Amino acid sequence: MDKKTNVLQRVMQSVGALLLSMSLSSTLMAQDAPLVLQRDGRTISLEPYAPNILRITISTDRAAATAAPGYGFVAKPSAQGWTHSQDAAGEDVFRSPRMVVRVAPEHLAQNQLPQRMPLDALNNQLREKYFGGSNNDQGPHDDALLVATAAGKTLLHMRTWTMAPERPDVAQADAGAKGYRVEATFDSPANEHYYGLGQQQQGWMDLRDHQIHCWHDYGALGGETVCVPFMVSSLGYGLVWDNPSKTTIDLGFNNRNVWSSEVGNRVSYFVIAGDDSDEIYAGYRLLTGVTHVLPRNVYGYIQSKAIYPTQQQLLDVADEYHRKNLPLGVMVVDFLNMTKQGNLDLDPARWPDPAAMNRQLHAMGVDTLLSVWPHFSKGSQFYDMLARKGWLVHTRDGVPDPGWFKAVIGPNIDTTKPEAAKWFWEQIRDRYIKPYGFDYLWLDETEPDIDPANDVFWVGSGTRYYNVYPLFHTASVYEGFRRDFGDSRRVMILARAAYLGAQRNGTVFWSSDIYSTWDMLKRSIPAGLNFTATGMPYWDTDIAGFFSPLIPADYHAAHKPLIDGSDVRGTIGNYEDYPELFVRWFEWGTFQPVMRAHGERKHNEIWSYGKQAEPILAKYLKLRYQLLPYTYSLAYRSYQTGAPYMRALFMDFPTDPKVANIPDEYMYGPAFLVAPVTAQGATHRSVYLPAGCDWYNYWTRQRFHGGQTIDVDAPIDTLPLFVKAGSIVPLGSDDGTAQKQQKIVSVNVYAGADGSFTLFQDDGKTYAYERGKYTLTKLRWDDAAHQLKHEGAPAWSGPDAAVVNVVDGHVREP
């Protein structure tokens, strides 16, 4: 007994000493975090959020440098594991087990500042006379800062930063608020590649050697740009730029990256270090919020067109899907559904009984997505009240601004104002959801679709807060849903623009009103890959585009169309290759995070594009539903990690240099390599198979070594699709609905490597999964033993031999 007591005492003493040590260490770290350095009127703040996440803020205004981050961030600072010291050279060193940050001492920093080659004295005098010298009060400031891994690998090297006075026109638009043009310059090594930064539709994958306009621009070249200022580098870090004004990012020019925002009072950004891309996305998730699992039905198929003008037309379409035994998840009630824009009603002449309509659709397992625009026209029942309260986006003199819209559309509601946001949600709740039973909401015009630089929001000038409206607008509905319905129903919001943190609002973003052309199909793929690489897992397109291009009367396709559309001329007109385009785009849509057809066409259902097209479209529609157990499990994985499941190749094959700039291939989860056909008349395409593993052609089951480019047959009914060796793919029945759990009819295992997959199942409708109410089945493939093992919840009944299908084979060269 005494011996046990002595041992216990020694243990307690040791624990006490450890706790005291931890307490002292925590005190020291708390004193050092944020680490605030003063430099001749300049303040540098280094604020940790995790061992691999650091916020860097620099300003000539100490209060600005030490203030909290801007809109979009939800994380709290955490200094655990961080310490501060100075080395022998006088550098301030801020260190964690994952990162080392070095700030050059002031007396040496000038040596870090990029300089021109020397000029003689006369040249210097002439240069200063005609062009002026540098203004040391405004910058560029020589506070060089280096971020590295704990092992010493350089991640990011900031050379200079600037706070220059606003241009007079920008200062005027900023309503007299004190502000500057802020800028930071970083090194850009030749082997560094960049991804993310929201949506750019010029066809770029690797953003190196491009100038990125980071602001919402509906009329941008190629299609709408959407600003989410989060970039992922191939060197193993993410950079989140904390400034919502118009921002220009020049990547790679003259071996420099330059981030420049029109207005701000500080340079502020986060650096996230990651051993792989998923760790970077986990850091973004920590900073800005989770990506919720959407309602299960949303992962099926969403049918839309611009527009189904009446209740009966909507029901007729759903009935036809049901009659043809084709699966369908959601029907869309698009805009122009009100008696007057802003009345927040449904025109009873066209929608005589929306509640009955929704009951009929729900009985078929079909949900509804209702478009509610944020515009209020003069003469609508709420306009005068909203204008009087100042709840409409307005010019600096207080006049509501309809922008370039016609008077029948009107200005946006200012949902940056909490009272206006609450009112907007309550009207939607009481006018659409409670009485009629609509399930989901399409929040269109979330830019807002005007130029905010001309206007004032409740949070401040449109110039200063140019990009934040989508965050507030989607939050108005998401937070209202959660507040009033609790965990009982999941939110799904379709939105056209985004900002940092908007992924936490139950949102799906789409590529805006793009053209129905082969060129747009080609450019849409890298646009989507960079958008999801921004930490926004849910993105889709209007399958086959929204706007129909002007087709000349004598138009003929470049090649003989692979689909004969002569039986649907009433739908396609003389756009003879449009059925082929629709099929190719639909095949790609099967492997988008959300699958949704939409567009300005007379008809837009899968039977609308001819007898040759319909069976191909039905094949891929059913494949989408067969893959739902796989897709739905990927959605839960995104909720857990923040990582997307529509994945540009750099994410999963970082050591293969050949994947750095492939714009038209990607991974759909850990198993599928998707390579859409984007050329009219093409019946084959080349596909690069990343190195480090073997690959199976999904259709033929041929097996290939990675690290090579192969030529793949791609007749019109075949999307080039490969499966990584070691993959486990659970398949369900295509019984026409995603509202309920599907029966697992097959588990395909692709031999050649060990593998694992976690199958997620829950009620599909509520947020009970947040409280642990779900089941997991962990599947593991032992390649040496040629055996699939599973643990956790039973996922199928009967013997494994009746369900498990092993795909094997010797490697065969093409």
Cβ within 8 Å of residue 406, ≥6 positions away: none
Q: Omega into 710 within 30° of 0, i.e. cis?
A: no
Residue 263 and residue 243: Cα distance in Å, rounded? Answer: 8
Residue 352 and residue 385: Cα distance in Å, rounded? Answer: 28
Residue 761 and residue 742: Cα distance in Å, rounded? Answer: 9
Nearest to 563 by CA among 512, 621, 606, 623: 606
Q: Give yes or no for a contact between 455 and 393, defined as CB atoms under 8 angstroms apart.
A: yes
Cβ within 8 Å of residue 455, ≥6 positions away: 393, 394, 395, 396, 401, 461, 462
**Per the structure block, which two tokens stand in for 161?**
């930063």
Residue 241 and residue 194: Cα distance in Å, rounded? Answer: 14
Residue 10 and residue 807: Cα distance in Å, rounded? Answer: 59
* Helix, coil or strand: residue 298: helix
Nearest to 158 by CA among 138, 137, 143: 143
Residue 145 and residue 46: Cα distance in Å, rounded? Answer: 11
Q: Give yes or no for a contact between 257 and 186, defined as CB atoms under 8 angstroms apart.
A: yes
First to last CA, the chain: 76
Q: Which residues are catalytic?
A: 444, 447, 513
Residue in the structure block whose two tokens are 């699992």: 293
Query: Each residue of 562-590: b (16+ CB within 10 Å) or e?
Result: bbebeebeebbbebbbbbbbbbbbbbbbb
**Per the structure block, which two tokens stand in for 455?**
């206007």
Residue 430 and residue 442: Cα distance in Å, rounded? Answer: 16
Dihedral in degrees, nearest 10, Cα atoms 712, 199, 77, 279: 0
Residue 53 and residue 272: Cα distance in Å, rounded? Answer: 5
Q: How many CB atoms lie within 10 A of CB 749?
A: 22
**Per the structure block, which two tokens stand in for 606?**
């899968």
**Chain-centre distance for alpha carbon 748:** 30
**Per the structure block, which two tokens stand in for 623?**
């494949």
Q: Give yes or no for a contact between 705 and 616, defined as CB atoms under 8 angstroms apart.
A: no
Q: Give yes or no for a contact between 574 and 549, defined as CB atoms under 8 angstroms apart.
A: no
* Helix, coil or strand: residue 483: helix
CA distances to 218, 349, 526, 660, 687 from 690, in Å: 35, 57, 17, 11, 9
**Chain-centre distance for alpha carbon 120:** 52
CA distances to 377, 470, 534 from 496, in Å: 21, 8, 15
One-letter-per-residue 3-state SS of 578-629: HHHHHHHHHHHHCCCCCCEECCCCCCCCCCCCCCCHHHHHHHHHHHHHHCHH
Question: Measured at the alpha carbon of residue 445, what is the angle toward residues 440 and 447, in degrees to the nearest 5?
Answer: 120
Q: Give yes or no for a contact between 543 and 596, defined as CB atoms under 8 angstroms apart.
A: yes
Question: Measured at the alpha carbon of residue 667, what is the angle toward residues 662 and 673, in degrees to the nearest 5?
Answer: 85
